[in-house]
C-alpha cells in the first residue's frame, strides 16, 4: 500500500509566490475591511466562521487557482468572506454588495445563493455535508468532457470543509469515493478551527486523529500548522505538488489549523462569534486591530 504521509517541507518559496505575497497581504487588508463593514452595516453574524477561512480563500483565488479551476465553499455560512473576495475580483458590484443580508431582494443571502446567478458560485451551499460530493462531481467531469480529452486538460476543483461538514455522513461517502477513483484534480481543504455550532468539536463529536482518519481513507494529507498564514498554506500546497507520485494518484487534502475569528482579538477562538454581530465599539476596535496587523506586516517585510 502506498503510504501517503507527507511532511510540510522547509522549502525555498518559489519566486512567483514571493513576489505575489505583498499583493496577497494587500488583498487581505482590503477584504478584511470589506468583510467587517458588511457585517457591521447588515448587523449579521457568522463573522468568526468567515475570518477563519478568509486567508485560505484569498490564497486560492489570488495565488493558487487558474482560470478554469472551480471552488465549492461547503461551509456556506462563511459566505461574507467569499462575497468580499468576489467583490475585490469584480464579480460583485458595489450596489450588489451594499444589498447584502439586510435588503429585501438581495442576491447576497447569508449563505451563497442557489440560483446560479452569482459569478464564481456554481453551487449555493448552507446545508452542511453537500460540498465535497458536488466538488467530486465537478472534478470527475474533467474525465468525460470532450474538449478536455482532446487537449489533455486538467481542471482542479477546490472544496473548503468545516468540522460541521465532517460530522455529516455524506462527507465520508465522498471521501471513500474520491480516493477509490483517484481524483487527482481534487483539493480538499479543511478549515480546522475546533469550534462548531454549539461547542468545541472535540467535545461535540470528536474528530481527533483527523490526519490518521484521512490517511486511512487513502488520501494524500498534509497539515498546515497555521491556516491563517499564507506561508503555511503555501508550504502545504507545495508539499502536495512536489511529490510527483502523489500528484498522479489521488485526491489531496490539507488540514488547515485555523482560528475562529482570526485577527480580531476579542473574537478569536470564541464560540459566540459564530452568531454575534458587532456593535459600533467592537467594529471600531476590529478596524484598529487589522490596521495594526497591517503595519506590523509591513515592518516585517521591509
Q: Residue numbers of the site for another protein (CB under 8 A)?
A: 114-116, 122-124, 127, 129-130, 133-146, 169-170, 173-174, 176-177, 180-181
Asked whether the beta carbons of 252 and 240 are under 8 A apart, the reply is: yes
Say how far apart CA 89 and CA 279 lie, in whole Å: 28
Residue located via cell numbers 490564497: 59
Helix (H, G, I), strand (E, B) or coil at 72: strand
Residue located via cell numbers 467569499: 82
- The least distance separating another protein from the CB of residue 136, rounded to whole angstroms, comes to 5
Please say which residue, 34 or 218, places its beta carbon nearer to another protein: 218
Helix (H, G, I), strand (E, B) or coil at 221: strand
Asked whether the beta carbons of 259 and 293 are under 8 A apart, the reply is: no
- The least distance separating another protein from the CB of residue 190, rounded to whole angstroms, comes to 18
Say how far apart CA 9 and CA 12 lie, in whole Å: 9
Helix (H, G, I), strand (E, B) or coil at 253: strand
One DSSP character per residue, 148-201 reads HHHHT----EEEEE-HHHHHSHHHHHHHHHHHHTT-TTEEEEEEE-SEETTEEH
- The least distance separating another protein from the CB of residue 172, rounded to whole angstroms, comes to 9
Say how far apart CA 109 and CA 232 lie, in whole Å: 31
- The least distance separating another protein from the CB of residue 122, rounded to whole angstroms, comes to 5
Say how far apart CA 105 and CA 76 lie, in whole Å: 19
Please say which residue, 134 or 210, places its beta carbon nearer to another protein: 134
Amino acid at each position: 500500500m502506498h503510504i501517503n504521509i507527507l511532511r510540510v517541507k522547509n522549502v525555498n518559496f518559489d519566486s512567483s509566490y514571493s513576489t505575489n505575497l505583498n499583493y496577497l497581504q494587500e488583498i487581505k487588508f482590503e477584504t478584511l475591511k470589506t468583510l467587517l463593514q458588511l457585517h457591521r452595516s447588515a448587523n449579521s453574524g457568522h463573522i468568526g466562521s468567515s475570518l477563519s477561512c478568509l486567508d485560505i480563500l484569498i490564497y486560492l483565488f489570488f495565488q493558487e487557482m487558474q482560470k478554469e479551476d472551480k471552488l465549492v465553499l461547503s461551509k456556506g455560512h462563511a459566505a461574507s468572506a467569499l462575497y468580499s473576495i468576489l467583490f475585490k475580483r469584480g464579480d460583485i458590484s458595489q450596489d450588489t454588495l451594499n444589498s447584502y443580508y439586510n435588503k429585501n431582494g438581495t442576491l447576497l443571502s447569508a449563505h451563497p445563493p442557489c440560483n446560479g446567478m452569482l459569478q464564481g458560485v456554481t453551487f449555493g451551499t448552507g446545508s452542511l455535508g453537500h460540498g465535497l460530493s458536488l466538488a467530486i462531481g465537478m472534478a470527475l467531469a474533467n474525465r468525460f468532457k470532450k474538449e478536455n480529452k482532446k487537449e489533455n486538460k486538467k481542471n482542479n476543483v477546490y472544496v473548503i470543509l468545516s468540522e460541521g461538514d465532517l460530522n455529516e455522513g455524506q462527507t465520508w461517502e465522498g471521501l471513500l469515493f474520491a480516493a477509490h477513483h483517484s481524483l487527482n484534480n481534487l483539493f480538499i481543504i479543511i478549515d480546522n478551527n475546533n469550534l462548531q455550532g454549539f461547542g468545541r468539536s472535540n467535545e461535540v463529536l470528536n474528530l481527533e486523529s483527523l490526519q490518521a482518519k484521512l490517511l486511512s481513507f487513502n488520501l494524500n494529507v498534509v497539515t498546515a500548522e497555521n491556516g491563517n498564514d499564507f506561508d503555511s498554506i503555501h508550504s502545504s500546497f507545495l508539499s502536495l505538488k512536489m511529490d510527483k507520485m502523489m500528484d498522479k494518484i489521488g485526491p489531496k487534502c490539507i488540514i488547515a489549523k485555523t482560528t475562529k475569528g482570526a485577527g480580531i482579538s476579542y473574537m478569536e477562538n470564541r464560540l459566540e462569534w459564530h452568531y454575534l454581530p458587532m456593535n459600533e465599539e467592537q467594529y471600531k476596535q476590529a478596524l484598529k486591530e487589522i490596521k495594526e496587523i497591517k503595519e506590523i506586516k509591513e515592518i516585517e517585510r521591509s
